[in-house]
Amino acid sequence: MPRIVIVGGGFAGVATAQALERAGRREPIAITLVNRQNFMLFTPMLPEAATGSIEARHILQPLRAALSGDTGLSGASSFELGEAVGVDLERRTVSTRHPLTHELKLIEYDELVLALGATDSAMGIPGVEKFTVPLKTIADAETLRDRVIGALEVAARTKDVLERDRLLRFVIVGGNFTGVELAGELQAFLRSTMRYYPSIDRTKVELVLLESSDKLLGHLPAKFGKYAASALVKRGARLLLGRAVSAVDPCGVELKDGARIESATVMWAAGEEPSSLAKQLGIKTNEHGAIETAGDFAVVGMPHVWALGDCAAVPRPGGGTYAPLAQNAIREGKLLASNIRARLRGKPTKNFRYQELGQMASLGDRRAVVELPGGGMLTGTLAWMVWRTYYLAQVPGWNQKTRVALDWTLAMAFPADMARMPLLDRNATSFENMHASRR
């Protein structure tokens, strides 16, 4: 029975495993999915999880539930909690380390799929990794929310005017989808919570969105970025376009033009890069850190190894590579499963060809912007309803879909939860420690 090992439990890896499971009902196949966490994170809803619009755990899909499980039937998948630490191409084995016990294990494969995803990129800017809060993981979402609430709590009692000013200024670096959606959600969150802080002048609360290019939502036509910018500014955000960050410290950010913005909470959404795990495994990557593949996802120069999703540079017909989008990753997974089965049967594989369906961004306050087929644009409340309907349909599992829908319903009827969970933020650069160091 052919053994397929998939490393990575994001959109691409899970889509591949599930497609192989369906195919395995007709032909014997053994599938093993390896991931460092036992869940898949539905990343498009992270900004809402960060502001409490939805419960963070409700956008997690346990991987053991997402797969059929090792039932002994052909086409069944097994899940291995572990992180890949080595690949032996001659013996066709993957070495994994268990994140809890640190035990090493060898997993044999006939075909290896790398769906390693992407990580945040500090872009070589000093202080980014140490003094900013990213939004890539569920822990990031919880930490970000606690930082914002912590800043309000301290600002509510401080007598230092300059310190209060710094605490009440929230900076988001990056005007991509994550940055814009986080800005919209954070605006709504701050507005709904200020009733609990009567000692704070709400006109002093400021949200600053920094973007190094001259427009927001750079992957979309300019009109989309203009609409997003207008919607955020109307609700009080300050946009600084064409302004690049040169350094970050505990008290704010320095800009390349010499200006400085004081802030106790700097959030990083300026970019990401393919996972560095590929290099650690000894796999050749391009200048951007992505694994080079052929059009059918086969890794160049590495037989029986495939790559897809955010970690791979999958060529587009006519030049360039496919964008690191969830919709691309899901469809790549379906074709890759078909290509693997074709390779096992000695038949030709197919190159990936896909026209993106369009993209969308939530702007908070029941507003969104949606790209329609043909370049049309939908905005406002109707776009927000389209955004929610589409992404609710994409949430994996009826259990999670129901919970997210209930969260949305309750959020419309009740104010945001203001409880902090500081145990999530106890490292050397936690809000408490950084604030204490400035005193």
Q: Could you read off the pLDDT tens digit of each residue along the chain, which spans 439 residues? A: 899 999 999 999 999 999 999 876 677 889 999 999 999 999 999 999 999 889 999 999 999 988 876 544 455 679 999 999 999 989 999 999 999 999 999 999 999 999 999 988 888 999 999 999 999 999 999 999 999 999 999 999 999 999 999 999 999 999 999 999 999 999 999 998 999 999 999 999 999 999 999 999 988 889 999 999 999 999 999 999 999 999 999 999 999 999 999 999 999 999 788 988 888 888 888 888 999 999 999 999 899 999 999 999 999 998 999 988 888 999 999 999 999 999 999 999 999 998 877 889 999 999 999 998 878 999 999 999 999 999 999 998 889 999 999 999 998 888 777 777 765 554 545 556 655 555 5
Measured CA to CA, the distance from residue 138 to residue 38 in angstroms comes to: 13
Measured CA to CA, the distance from residue 24 to residue 28 in angstroms comes to: 6
**Which residue(s) pair with 210 in the sheet?**
173, 240
Measured CA to CA, the distance from residue 384 to residue 422 in angstroms comes to: 32
**Which residue(s) pair with 285 in the sheet?**
291
Specify the 3-state DSSP secondary structure of 413.
helix
Q: Judge: domain 128-270+397-438, CATH 3.30.465.10.
A: no
DSSP string, 128-191: HHHH-EE-SSHHHHHHHHHHHHHHHHHHTT---HHHHHHHTEEEEE--SHHHHHHHHHHHHHHH
Question: Amino acid identity of 1?
Answer: M
Whole-model pTM?
A: 0.90
Domain with CATH 3.50.50.60 in the chain: 3-120+273-344
Count of other CB atoms within 10 angstroms of residue 417: 13
DSSP string, 30-73: EEEEEESSSEEE-GGGHHHHHHTSS-GGGGEEEHHHHS----SS
- Write out the H or E segment, with its range, that includes residue 272: strand 272-274
Domain with CATH 3.50.50.100 in the chain: 128-270+397-438
Measured CA to CA, the distance from residue 403 to residue 242 in angstroms comes to: 40
- Which CATH code of 3.20.20.10, 3.90.1200.10, 3.50.50.60, 3.40.50.720 fits the domain covering 3-120+273-344? 3.50.50.60
Q: What is the end-to-end Cα distance of the chain in Å, rounded?
A: 65
